[in-house]
Amino acid sequence: MAGQIGSVLAVAAVLAALAAAVVAVLRLRARRGIATTMQRATYDVLHTASLAAEPLRAGLTPATATKAARPLRTLVGAVGLSIADDERCLAFDGRGGHHTDQLTAAARRALSARRSIVLTAADLPCDRVDCVVRGAVVAPLPDADGAATAALVAVADEPPAPGLVQATLETARWAGSQLALAELDSSRERLARAEVRALRAQISPHFIYNALTAIASFVRTDPERARELILEFAEFTRYSFRAHGEFTTLAEELRSIDRYLTIERARFGDRLQVRLQIAPEVLPVGLPFLCLQPLVENAVRHGLSRKPGVGMVHIEARDAGAECHITVEDDGVGMDPSVFGRDSPDGEDGQHVGLVNVDERLRSVFGDHHGLVVETAPGAGTKVSMRVPKFHPQVRA
């Protein structure tokens, strides 16, 4: 009997120890909790918003709307959610999809009236006995100008309450801001392409004329050299007028500059001297297309062509840790630094054309602290420098 009592006491002791251990673990886990209830709610909302933001920042299409519909429905707290324009339903998530035509028609009315609409069960008649739809809130997605081409439709399984209405309106306003940012990104890309076209238009007229004149001078006296210059000219124009890609590598840009200088040396002869100092490790660095060639052209055209005697163009690209430092320097006639003011027009002959363009493109891609730095004065030559990050998420050469 005493032995049985001892066994029972031993088991009880073990159970008590286990209970104490469990309590201790629970307390320890509670102390290590990473967030309060409010912090967890904030995290959940921001995380869900980020899931919707990524596709919306790519613009509104059926594919991006489909990806954004579910997190948007979670944000609103609706049983179903539709994204529609004035012609069709782009995406639907959740319950109530059999009301798509009615919801799209309501979105069309909201976009036409430029205001939100609250629908009741009477506005959404249905013969299905299992239908849960009891109303909906339609909110246009405003763009940067306040206009809207699409709407958010939140489906409710009960008459729409003020909380659902407010949540839908705020979510639509937020989603509209993401679409406005997408349009801004698209506009920036179109502007970049337009600036490249402008550079091509500025570079081509005088250079093509001078290049063909230089080639023509060798046709009779040195046909073989004329043939080589024609091939170099063809490769240069092929690169300069290529139809794809906003970015290139430093190696490709330097290769095109070498062809340009080969043609210019045929025109200037021994008057044009070139010195290159290029670190091999920076050759793969990506940079905006045609951002280096205009600097070299301006050095030759405006710095050295007006200088009597021999002129030197020095092109250097150095490895500077996370950046590549590039300079184009000439010992030509120099210029007035005020020429490079933001509001200063180009000279009557198009002097310094393209440099402001390059400066703006560098700033738009890499940030304001990555613009051109110009050091010059009349009679003192010109040095133009740029700093290019070796790696940048937006640059794909």
Query: Percent of the chain, pLDDT > 90?
Result: 33
Buried b (16+ CB within 10 A) or exposed e, 283-295: bebbbbbbbbbbb
Reply yes or no on whether the pLDDT at 261 is more than 80.
Answer: yes
Mean pLDDT on 308-334: 90
Reply yes or no on whether the pLDDT at 251 is more than 90.
Answer: yes
- 312 closest CA partner among 275, 351, 278: 275
Mean pLDDT on 9-21: 47
295 vs 347, more confident: 295
Reply yes or no on whether the pLDDT at 391 is more than 90.
Answer: no
pLDDT tens profile 140-183: 988 766 678 889 999 999 999 999 999 999 999 888 888 887 77
The domains found in the chain, sorted by start residue, are: 40-196 (3.30.450.40), 243-389 (3.30.565.10)
**Residue 18 pLDDT:** 46
**Residue 14 pLDDT:** 43
**Residue 9 pLDDT:** 43
Q: How far, rounded to the nearest angstrom, does the alpha carbon of residue 192 sit from its chain's CA centroid?
A: 11
Q: pLDDT band at residue 284, thresholds of 50, 70 and 90?
A: very high
Q: pLDDT band at residue 298, thresholds of 50, 70 and 90?
A: confident
Mean pLDDT on 215-240: 84
Distance in angstroms (rounded) separating the CA atoms of residues 366 and 170: 33
Q: pLDDT band at residue 12, thresholds of 50, 70 and 90?
A: very low
**Residue 196 pLDDT:** 58
- 365 closest CA partner among 196, 144, 121: 196
Distance in angstroms (rounded) separating the CA atoms of residues 182 and 57: 5
Reply yes or no on whether the pLDDT at 319 is more than 90.
Answer: yes
Reply yes or no on whether the pLDDT at 92 is more than 90.
Answer: yes
**Residue 15 pLDDT:** 43
Q: What is the mean pLDDT of the chain?
A: 80
